[in-house]
Amino acid sequence: MDFREYQLRARTTDQNPRTSWSADEEPQKHTVIPLLGLVGEIGGLLSEYKKVLRDGAVHEQFPRQVAEELGDILWYVATVATKFGLDLNKIAEENIIKTEDRWHEPGGNLRLYDERLQEAQRLPRHFSYTFSHQEMNGIERLVITDNATGEGHGDPLRDNAYEDDGYRFHDILHFAFAVHLGWSPVWRKLLRAKEKVSKRPPSIDDAEDGGRAQVIEEAIVAAAYVYADRHNFMEGVGAVDWQLLRHIKQMTDNLEVKDRTTWEWNRALLDGFKVWRKLREFNGGSIVGDLLQNTLKFTSPDRA
């Protein structure tokens, strides 16, 4: 039996079979009852689990009871789907795609968006930068230096906050996006300013590397930082919440990076903040990135 057949047969047992629904009308009995039933059956499942925790092996009927509770939950899920004009088969298909996108590591090597362009238009496949502090006009600022040339990378930074919260190190996330996603319009902009990379063809440059894409990337970094700040800067965190990953996917839906999975975004954020924590701990240091190996490594200032 597939989900569609189950949904059709479940409908024949619905005692309030009306299916019409409108967001403009007041809650109706035929939609409220299955929603309340779904909540109730989930409570029943928890109750069975409570019993096995309390009684242990004595609760011999636990597997059968759980199966029955799950069956009742499935009936209510199918009925709620019917009430709102949804196809349970399609729901199941889209859900497994979403969860595989979230938890399955993509196979093969990372395809870089600029790999078919001229070498001068490609992001550097390897890079190394040093984060250090310098006093400028009586104010200490973070300076990022390209270790290959000794030149500064971007403007000197501060946290732009009342307290030292480490936001000045946020460029590490741009580097993490480049390493794990092959994408960073902000980094590409800074490289163009130093004439280290050429513009991509106009049709690509405007849409993928222009101001809009740069703003989106900075917005992602800001949203990720707010999330990290509330989760111990992701120390000990194995997975980023789905809400943030979904928000990022929605923001990048019209950009080339839209084909990156949420698993890849999760890895980029976790690795980026792993290095961010080191930069914060040592108040600087050096980083080495490799787009071909998808690695981002930190070296403390005393070893750099």
pTM of the model: 0.89
How many residues would you count in the chain?
304
pLDDT at 206: 94
The parts of the chain modelled with pLDDT lower than 70 are 24, 58-59, 303-304
CATH superfamily for 3-103 is MazG-like (1.10.287.1080)
Closest to 169 measured CA to CA, from 201, 129, 116: 129
- Percent of the chain as helix, strand, coil, to the nearest 5: 55, 10, 35
Closest to 273 measured CA to CA, from 202, 183, 167, 186: 167
pLDDT at 131: 97
- Cβ proximity of 104 and 254 under 8 Å: no
- Triad 117, 121, 126: Cα angle to 5°: 105
pLDDT at 53: 87
Owner of token pair 């993509």: 106
* Phi and psi, residue 127, nearest 5°: -155, 160
Half-sphere exposure of 124 (CA within 13 A, CB side): 20
> How far apart, in whole angstroms, are the C-alpha atoms of residue 64 and residue 175?
52
> How far apart, in whole angstroms, are the C-alpha atoms of residue 279 and residue 171?
11
Q: Can you give the residue ranges of every domain in the chain? A: 3-103, 119-299
pLDDT at 20: 76
pLDDT digits (tens, 9 = 90+) for 77-95: 999 999 999 999 999 999 9
**Alpha carbon separation from 43 to 75, 244, 251 (Å, rounded):** 15, 28, 36
Strands 285-290 and 139-146: unpaired
pLDDT at 61: 81
pLDDT at 59: 66
The DSSP 8-state label assigned to residue 169 in this structure reads G
> How far apart, in whole angstroms, are the C-alpha atoms of residue 55 and residue 58?
6
